[in-house]
């Protein structure tokens, strides 16, 4: 179904970013605009996912050039779901930023760049053209790079160099892959590629190209052994920025892997083996890394890596049920990781440190906050029936069906390590009696903030915690959406037909 | 039914609102919840003894078959009554025990949460829902053990307990999912009909192992038992309720529940017998040497759990009957002893059994309760314990081959248990009252009435087994055997038999031991000599080692050097590419399709090669940039040769601009410094060659493929006709693929902002965070 308005989530974010630039130094207007526009984007994404779920896939051809000649944007359940999640996280972080980001940063374009980043994410999800996807990745890299360096502190710069170097490397690999794919097929439209790649006789060449894509997106999604940039950089910028990174940046890599390896390349046995081993090592590396950290932001950074491993595992097993698990986990993970990084922001504002050893006393001093923190923390662990739990049922079952016993074991073991890490964090940060920490002069403490700013830091955490609870307890709805997406990942005919029109039998 | 199961969660959730009003004076009101639930579940008793199966279904996540299907049969009824009954008494007891505690409301919240989880666990017919409640009991236990959150020991114990039970829980999840997959259903009732299918499936052994790990960790079986003594750091009501009467029996419940599905299989029986046997003897002997009352009770609880696993492992009708009775017996006397210990601790401030004596003089009702419980524990007639013990011997004697060995183990265990019970039930109350405790007085009735009730029931059921025979025990056995069971009648007096002889030996042996062995520091020290090889310390060592390995691994992987990261990524990529290129592709170069090489091309190529060498080996940045510029121009020439003047022009302008910019930027930088040694340069060079070589190889192979020109032909065709532009590249950039261009322009805009802020924004030191 053709519908030019599906591009609204991108255009509206672009509009927001430009509008914000007109208020360059007016921080209050920027905050207001950012929140209002994020709310409107959320509205748009709800509308978008509703029409897609009700009426099927919507497509628009940029400039009116028919596919595969122009650039296609596709709103299918997976992409609109990702946009919805981006908008939810975006709204939360936008509100959180108004309370937590220091004025100096706001006056140097924090909010415009933030909305450019969201635009890039939405664009990447809608892209139906592989080169266009690359271009959106550029937006994501450059805006995240600017956000990570904004403020120019030494730690930030050190982290950002690693971040940007490896991400540019990923882009180069991705671009090379696109070039080779274009050489093979003469096309860039993903639906068109799906058909053309399937018809190439030299499968060896196709598989090699697939490896390039895997590594390119693998760096983006921070899988082992390509993940180094993530633990090196995520703990350096202000918490609001970590929150949006932690929630969404790696997930766009996972999205791209899901899209490319279901639509264009159907993995051969070698590829699924590689993905499975990568998943195993990613889970272990991330969860073991988290176990030994002291900085709470590093703990969550490593856990991002570990849990990316889970999602990749779903791709490695390559059954519909496993993919359903991956989609479910993706939904859960975006919300919960965004939330946890915001929580670390609040913890820092209260205590002036991220060090677990020095933190403590939350149970006594801030019981209600502790209760609130418990929601994302235990959702992350996947204490049933909270949101991190459900996906595991799908993965374990698929693991046994596909006889990936080691993978199942590592999944279980990774969950165990997550449990231990989070329980330890809970005991140290919440239960333990905190030392009286020396006040730091360069920290603006929570109680020094204006009440409205304090509210702005707590409300988004409440908001995302409620979403997490809904994902857990309303699992039925989430599962039915994940199922729909899972089935469309396996049977891509609806996607292809939506882009290229009805196929005649021989092409398939 | 759903409401009654979830009521505890509702109460816990409403505490932030109402908690502070209740915790001061009206804490006793919390016990109305378990009390009314007890009455509610009791009202189902007539249906159950009529052999009815009650099923209550509520949809939750029907799309994967995970629903609230509550199934009430004999087994679950017994457990619900224990949970709510003992729960009521514990709730009442807590009101006095933790009176005035600032976090009393939270405590009740966790207790209520636990109670609901436990009810859900024993009522769920759906194995995934069962698992969900199972995990929730572990989590509530975590919060309750760590309730004294200021104390480091409490925190450690709660982490240990959660670690062990959580570990088992995750395995159990795997077990449940596989069981569901193999049996084709998540419903236990349906799985019972698929027993043959399940037991002959190749995954059956995996299922057994996974379920066993879950059950053994939860029910503190050797070698996973070590978390339970630590869990005694929790306030006494918790030890009573969770770690003796109910939660630790969840594993037992699980085994009993799955007996009709997984049971009566060689592996099932032998594993359970061996593990149960080791646990009961090992923990029984351990109990003898403890001084801390709670420690004694903890080990005797582990031992009792061992007996239950053992009995379920025997799996005969007799054994299951004995298990059913013993669950009730044990819950009644052990809960009493714990509650009594709590009172002693509360009033005297110590739990050291070697220091306590003569308390009867100051708190007689407590002493009576303790004495009655110790009698039942010892299995002295006419207590209910006597009935239970007889049944155990009955079961072991009729087992066949191993009867003597197993009966012997049971006798030893029972002697130890009897001794432990006497230590906890008689020792503190008899004898001379030390001067220090003369001021101790009888506590509030809220504290001593609950243990009195439990202890009296333990005697009452012994005298009148009829009370529980048909109504409670029979349906339990029926549920475990999945048939109706009419083969027995509980009775106190069995006549003269071997069993009676064994009972007498047990009682005689235990009482004798009680008089000979005096608990003292010395004995404890002797016993702790074996500590370094106990599962607890071994686990501690493994954990430490594991932590060390994780630390080492992480610091090797995440070493902080960008160059190693990049190298790793390239090696990984090259390895995969190389493997796939040489293994999956027939390498060939179709020379015929290539155009002829002209002299111009050779010259251009030569210039490029020289420039590359210069770029790599020069010691001046400007030369490197200039050489790169030369390479760029050469590429323009190549474009020209192949009739793409538009591309050539674009490339030409970009290259010029880049070189100029680079020169401007680099002009001010100091001279090259050589920071890396030759070795690493050679390594980097090799890697670059390999990677570049592989990509070139790949490109050449792609060239062999037939060219698809459909889309570029379309562009050439329509650029002028439809898009009104004469330069195809321009038309592609601004029209066919205009969106890409627009987005790239935005990239530049963002980069500009970034550069601006990097140059201009200097955070003042007070603004940093």
What does the pLDDT read at residue A50?
A: 95
What does the pLDDT read at residue B485?
A: 61
Number of compact structural domains in chain A:
1
What does the pLDDT read at residue B601?
A: 84
Q: What is the 3-state secondary structure (H, E, C) of A39-72?
A: HHHHHHHHHHHHHHHHHCCEEEEECCCCCCCCEE
Backbone angles phi, psi at A439, to 5 degrees: -70, 135
Is A500 within the bounds of a domain? Answer: no
Average pLDDT estimate for A290-298: 93
CB-based contact, A65 to chain B, within 8 Å: yes
What does the pLDDT read at residue A409?
A: 93
Lowest average pLDDT, out of A127-141, A381-395, B323-337, B671-685, goes to B671-685
Choose the most confident range, by mean pLDDT, from A280-289, A438-447, B88-97: A280-289
The alpha carbon torsion through A433, A439, A442, A448 (nearest 10 deg) reads 80
CB B477 within 8 Å of CB B74:
yes
The answer to whether the Cβ–Cβ distance between B747 and A138 falls below 8 Å is: yes
CB A186 within 8 Å of CB B707:
yes
Structural domain including A334 reads 4-495
Is A97 within the bounds of a domain? Answer: yes
Backbone angles phi, psi at B184, to 5 degrees: 80, 10
Give dist(CA B677, CA B407) in Å, integer: 75
pLDDT at A390 over 50: yes
Give dist(CA A372, CA A365) in Å, integer: 14
Is A505 within the bounds of a domain? Answer: no
* CA distances (Å), origin A499, targets A5, A81, A344: 16, 19, 43
The answer to whether the Cβ–Cβ distance between A146 and B149 falls below 8 Å is: no
Q: What chain A residue is nearest to B747 in terms of C-alpha separation? A: A139
Average pLDDT estimate for A290-315: 94
Residue-wise pLDDT tens digits, B459-509: 888 888 878 877 888 888 888 887 766 666 777 666 677 888 888 888 888
> Of the candidates A131, A149, A440, which has its C-beta nearest B740's C-beta?
A131
How far does A168 lie from chain B, in Å, by closest CA?
A: 11
CA atoms within 13 A on the CB side of A481: 24
The answer to whether the Cβ–Cβ distance between A231 and B558 falls below 8 Å is: yes
Give dist(CA B471, CA B467) in Å, integer: 7
List the beta strands (DSSP E) in A193-305: none
DSSP label of A75: E
Chain A from 370 to 429: CB within 8 A of any B CB: 371, 378, 383-385, 389-390, 392-394, 396-397, 400-401, 405, 408, 412, 415-416, 419-420, 423-424, 427
Residue-wise pLDDT tens digits, B197-220: 999 999 999 999 999 999 999 999
Is A508 within the bounds of a domain? Answer: no
Instruction: Provide CB contacts within 8 A for A47, sequence distance 6+.
Output: none
Give dist(CA B384, CA B366) in Å, integer: 20
Question: Position of tokens 């440190």?
Answer: A353
Which residues in chain B are contacts of A229 at CB distance < 8 A? 565
CB-based contact, B2 to chain A, within 8 Å: no
DSSP label of A264: I
CB-based contact, B158 to chain A, within 8 Å: yes
Average pLDDT estimate for A63-81: 91
Beta partners for residue B157, in sequence order: none
The region, left, alpha or beta by phi > 0 then psi within -120 to 50, assigned to residue B278 is alpha
Look up residue A2 and give its two tokens. Answer: 């053709």
CA angle B186, B192, B196 (to 5 degrees): 110
Give dist(CA A437, CA A429) in Å, integer: 13
Instruction: Provide CB contacts within 8 A for A329, sequence distance 6+.
Output: A307, A310, A311, A314, A388, A391
Give dist(CA B471, CA B704) in Å, integer: 84
CB B465 within 8 Å of CB B387:
yes
Instruction: Provide CB contacts within 8 A for B501, sequence distance 6+.
Output: none
Q: Where in chain B is the domain with CATH 1.20.120?
A: 561-705
Average pLDDT estimate for A148-154: 83
Backbone angles phi, psi at B653, to 5 degrees: -65, -40
Question: Position of tokens 């001093």?
Answer: A365
CB A291 within 8 Å of CB A283:
no
CA atoms within 13 A on the CB side of A318: 18
Look up residue A133 and give its two tokens. Answer: 């996807």
CA angle B436, B439, B441 (to 5 degrees): 125
Buried-exposed string B425-463: b where 16+ CB fall within 10 A, e elsewhere = bbbbbeeebeeebeebeebeebbbbbbbbbbbbbbbbbe
* CA distances (Å), origin A490, targets A354, A397, B651: 43, 18, 41
Give dist(CA A271, CA A211) in Å, integer: 8
pLDDT at A507 over 80: no
Give dist(CA B420, CA A50) in Å, integer: 66
Look up residue A331 and give its two tokens. Answer: 């939904």
* CA distances (Å), origin B711, targets A65, A175, A182, A504: 12, 19, 11, 20
What does the pLDDT read at residue B769?
A: 66
Which residues in chain A are contacts of B710 at CB distance < 8 A? 186-187
The answer to whether the Cβ–Cβ distance between A232 and B174 falls below 8 Å is: no
How far does A28 lie from chain B, in Å, by closest CA?
A: 18
Is A274 within the bounds of a domain? Answer: yes
Nearest to A215, CA basis, from A288, A139, A271 = A271
Give dist(CA A222, CA A225) in Å, integer: 8
Instruction: Provide CB contacts within 8 A for B726, sequence distance 6+.
Output: B719, B720
Round to the nearest angstrom and report the end-to-end CA distance of chain B: 52
Look up residue B568 and give its two tokens. Answer: 């790793």
Q: Which helix (H) or strand (E) holds A73?
A: strand A71-75
pLDDT at A504 over 70: no
Question: What string of DSSP letters covers B1-67?
Answer: -HHHHHHHHHHHHHHHHHHHHHHHH-GGGGGHHHHHHHHHHHTTHHHHHTTPPEEEEEEEEGGGTEE
**What's the sign of the alpha-carbon dihedral B10, B12, B15, B21?**
positive
| pTM of the model as a whole | 0.93
CB A61 within 8 Å of CB A72:
yes
Beta partners for residue B737, in sequence order: none
Is A113 within the bounds of a domain? Answer: yes
Given the DSSP bridges, would you call strands A71-75 and B54-61 parallel, antiparallel or unpaired? unpaired
Q: What chain A residue is nearest to B722 in terms of C-alpha separation? A: A65
CA angle A444, A450, A456 (to 5 degrees): 95
Cβ atoms within 10 Å of B522's Cβ, excluding its own: 9
ipTM value, please give it.
Answer: 0.93
Choose the most confident range, by mean pLDDT, from A94-108, A410-424, B58-72, B464-478: A410-424
Is A340 within the bounds of a domain? Answer: yes
Q: What chain A residue is nearest to B751 in terms of C-alpha separation? A: A142
Class of domain B561-705: mainly alpha
What does the pLDDT read at residue B487?
A: 66
Low-confidence ranges of chain B (pLDDT < 50): none
CB A491 within 8 Å of CB A497:
no
Q: Which helix (H) or strand (E) holds B70?
A: strand B66-72
How far does A113 lie from chain B, in Å, by closest CA?
A: 7
What does the pLDDT read at residue B434?
A: 83
Cis peptide upstream of residue B166 (ω within 30 degrees of 0): no
DSSP label of A129: B
Instruction: Provide CB contacts within 8 A for A465, sequence distance 6+.
Output: A339, A372, A375, A376
What does the pLDDT read at residue A505?
A: 55
The percentage of residues in chain B with a pLDDT greater than 70, rounded to a whole number, is 96
Which is higher by pLDDT, A274 or B510?
Answer: A274
pLDDT at A425 over 90: yes
Residue of A208, A275, A295, A415 for testing the chain B interface, max B β-carbons within 10 Å? A208
> If DSSP codes are grouped into helix, strand and coil, which group holds residue B360?
helix
What does the pLDDT read at residue B335?
A: 92
> Model confidence at A508, in pLDDT bands (50, 70, 90)?
very low
Average pLDDT estimate for A125-139: 94
The alpha carbon torsion through A177, A182, A183, A185 (nearest 10 deg) reads 120
> If DSSP codes are grouped into helix, strand and coil, which group holds residue A2?
strand
């Amino acid at each position: 179904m053709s519908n030019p308005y599906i591009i609204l989530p991108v255009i509206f974010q672009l509009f927001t970013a430009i509008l914000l630039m007109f208020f360059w130094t007016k921080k209050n207007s920027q905050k207001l605009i950012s929140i209002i526009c994020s709310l409107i984007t959320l509205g748009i994404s709800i509308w978008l996912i509703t029409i897609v779920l009700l009426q099927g896939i919507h497509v628009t051809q940029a400039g009116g050039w028919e596919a595969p000649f122009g650039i296609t944007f596709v709103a299918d359940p997976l992409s609109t779901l990702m946009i919805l999640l981006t908008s939810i996280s975006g709204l939360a972080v936008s509100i959180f930023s108004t309370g937590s980001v220091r004025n100096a940063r706001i006056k140097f374009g924090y909010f415009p760049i933030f909305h450019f980043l969201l635009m890039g994410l939405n664009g990447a999800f809608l892209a139906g053209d592989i080169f266009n996807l690359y271009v959106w990745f550029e937006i994501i890299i450059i805006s995240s790079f600017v956000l990570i360096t904004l403020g120019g502190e030494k730690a930030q710069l050190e982290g950002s160099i690693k971040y940007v170097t490896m991400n540019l490397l990923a882009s180069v690999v991705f671009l090379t892959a696109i070039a080779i794919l274009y050489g093979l097929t003469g096309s860039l439209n993903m639906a068109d590629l799906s058909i053309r790649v399937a018809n190439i006789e030299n499968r060896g060449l196709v598989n090699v190209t697939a490896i390039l894509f895997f590594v390119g997106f693998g760096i983006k999604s921070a899988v082992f052994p390509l993940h180094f940039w993530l633990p090196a950089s995520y703990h350096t910028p202000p918490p609001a920025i970590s929150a949006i990174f932690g929630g969404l940046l790696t997930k766009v890599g996972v999205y791209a892997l899901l899209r490319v390896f279901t639509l264009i390349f159907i993995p051969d046995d070698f590829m699924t083996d590689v993905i499975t081993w990568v998943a195993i090592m990613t889970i272990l590396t991330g969860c073991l890394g988290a176990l030994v950290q002291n900085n709470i932001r590093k703990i969550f950074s490593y856990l991002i890596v570990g849990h990316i491993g889970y999602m990749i595992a779903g791709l490695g097993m390559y059954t519909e049920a496993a993919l359903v698990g991956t989609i479910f986990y993706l939904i859960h993970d975006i919300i919960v990781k965004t939330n946890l990084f915001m929580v670390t922001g609040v913890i820092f504002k209260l205590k002036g440190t991220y060090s677990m050893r020095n933190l403590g006393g939350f149970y006594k001093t801030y019981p209600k906050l502790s209760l609130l923190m418990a929601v994302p923390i235990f959702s992350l662990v996947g204490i049933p029936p909270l949101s991190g739990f459900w996906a595991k049922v799908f993965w374990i079952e698929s693991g046994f069906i596909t006889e990936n016993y080691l993978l199942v074991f590592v999944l279980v073991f990774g969950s165990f390590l997550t449990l231990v890490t989070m329980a330890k964090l809970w005991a140290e940060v919440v239960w333990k009696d905190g030392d009286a920490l020396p006040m730091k002069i360069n920290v603006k403490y929570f109680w020094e903030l204006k009440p409205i700013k304090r509210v702005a830091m707590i409300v988004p955490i409440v908001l995302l915690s409620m979403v997490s609870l809904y994902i857990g307890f309303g699992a039925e709805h989430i599962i039915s959406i994940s199922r729909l997406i899972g089935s469309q990942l396996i049977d891509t005919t609806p996607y292809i037909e939506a882009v290229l029109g009805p196929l005649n039998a021989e092409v398939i | 039914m759903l409401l009654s199961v979830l009521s505890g969660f509702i109460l816990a959730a409403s505490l932030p609102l109402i908690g502070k009003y209740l915790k001061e004076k009206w804490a006793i009101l919390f016990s109305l919840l378990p009390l009314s639930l007890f009455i509610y579940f009791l009202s189902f008793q007539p249906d159950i003894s009529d052999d009815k199966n009650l099923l209550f279904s509520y949809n939750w996540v029907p799309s994967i078959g995970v629903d609230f299907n509550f199934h009430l049969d004999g087994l679950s009824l017994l457990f619900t009554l224990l949970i709510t009954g003992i729960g009521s008494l514990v709730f009442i007891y807590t009101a006095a025990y933790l009176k005035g505690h600032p976090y009393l409301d939270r405590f009740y919240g966790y207790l209520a949460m636990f109670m609901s989880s436990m009810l859900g666990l024993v009522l769920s017919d759906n194995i995934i829902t069962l698992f969900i409640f199972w995990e929730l009991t572990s989590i509530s236990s975590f919060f309750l053990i760590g309730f004294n959150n200021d104390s480091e020991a409490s925190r450690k114990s709660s982490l240990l307990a959660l670690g062990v039970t959580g570990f088992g829980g995750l395995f159990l999840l795997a077990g449940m999912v596989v069981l569901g997959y193999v049996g084709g259903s998540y419903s236990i009732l349906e799985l019972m009909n698929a027993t043959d299918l399940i037991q002959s499936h190749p995954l059956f052994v995996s299922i057994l192992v996974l379920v066993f790990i879950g059950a053994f960790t939860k029910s503190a079986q050797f070698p996973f038992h070590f978390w339970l003594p630590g869990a005694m750091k929790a306030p006494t009501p918790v030890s009573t309720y969770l770690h003796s009467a109910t939660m630790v029996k969840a594993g037992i419940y699980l085994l009993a529940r799955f007996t009709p599905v997984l049971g009566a299989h060689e592996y099932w029986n032998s594993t359970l017998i061996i593990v149960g046997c080791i646990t009961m003897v090992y923990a029984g002997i351990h109990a003898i040497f403890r001084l801390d009352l709670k420690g004694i009770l903890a080990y005797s609880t582990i031992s009792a759990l061992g007996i239950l696993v053992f009995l379920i492992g025997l799996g005969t009708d007799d054994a299951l009957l004995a298990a059913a009775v013993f669950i009730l017996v044990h819950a009644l006397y052990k809960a009493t002893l714990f509650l009594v210990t709590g009172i002693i601790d509360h009033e005297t401030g110590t739990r050291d059994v070697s220091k306590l004596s003569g308390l009867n003089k100051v708190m007689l009702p407590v002493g009576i309760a303790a004495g009655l419980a110790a009698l039942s524990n010892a299995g002295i007639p006419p207590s209910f314990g006597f009935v239970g013990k007889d049944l155990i011997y009955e079961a072991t004697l009729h087992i066949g081959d191993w009867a003597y060995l197993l009966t012997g183990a049971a006798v030893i265990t029972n002697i130890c248990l009897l001794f432990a019970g006497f230590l906890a039930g008689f020792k503190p109350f008899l004898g001379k009252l030390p001067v220090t405790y003369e001021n101790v007085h009888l506590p509030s009735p809220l504290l001593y009435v609950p243990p009195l009730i439990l202890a009296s029931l333990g005697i009452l059921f012994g005298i009148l087994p009829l009370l529980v025979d048909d109504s409670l025990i029979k349906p339990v056995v029926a549920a475990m055997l999945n048939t109706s069971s009419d083969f027995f009648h509980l009775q106190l007096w069995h006549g003269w038999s071997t069993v009676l002889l064994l009972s007498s030996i047990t009682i005689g042996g235990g009482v004798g031991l009680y008089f000979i062995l005096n608990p003292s520091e010395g004995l404890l020290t002797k016993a702790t000599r074996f500590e370094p090889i106990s599962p607890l310390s071994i686990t501690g060592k493994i954990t430490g080692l594991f932590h060390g390995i994780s630390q080492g691994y992480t610091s090797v992987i995440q070493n902080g050097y960008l160059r190693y990261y990049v190298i790793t990524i390239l090696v990984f990529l090259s390895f995969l590419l190389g493997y796939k290129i040489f293994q999956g592709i027939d390498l060939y170069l179709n020379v015929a399709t290539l155009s002829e090489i002209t002299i111009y091309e050779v010259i251009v190529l030569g210039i490029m090669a020289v420039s590359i060498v210069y770029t790599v080996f020069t010691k001046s940045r400007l030369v490197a940039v200039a050489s790169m510029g030369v390479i760029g121009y050469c590429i323009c020439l190549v474009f020209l040769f192949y009739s793409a003047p538009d591309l050539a022009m674009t490339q030409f302008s970009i290259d010029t601009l880049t070189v100029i910019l680079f020169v401007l930027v680099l002009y001010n930088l100091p001279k090259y410094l050589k920071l890396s040694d030759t070795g690493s340069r050679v390594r980097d060079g090799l890697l670059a060659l390999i990677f570049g070589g592989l990509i070139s190889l790949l490109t050449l192979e792609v060239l062999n493929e037939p060219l698809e020109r459909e889309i570029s032909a379309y562009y050439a065709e329509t650029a002028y006709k439809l898009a009104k532009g004469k330069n195809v590249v321009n038309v592609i950039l601004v029209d066919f693929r205009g969106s890409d261009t627009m987005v790239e322009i935005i990239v530049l805009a963002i980069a500009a902002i970034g550069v601006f802020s990097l140059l201009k924004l200097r955070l003042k030191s007070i603004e940093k965070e």
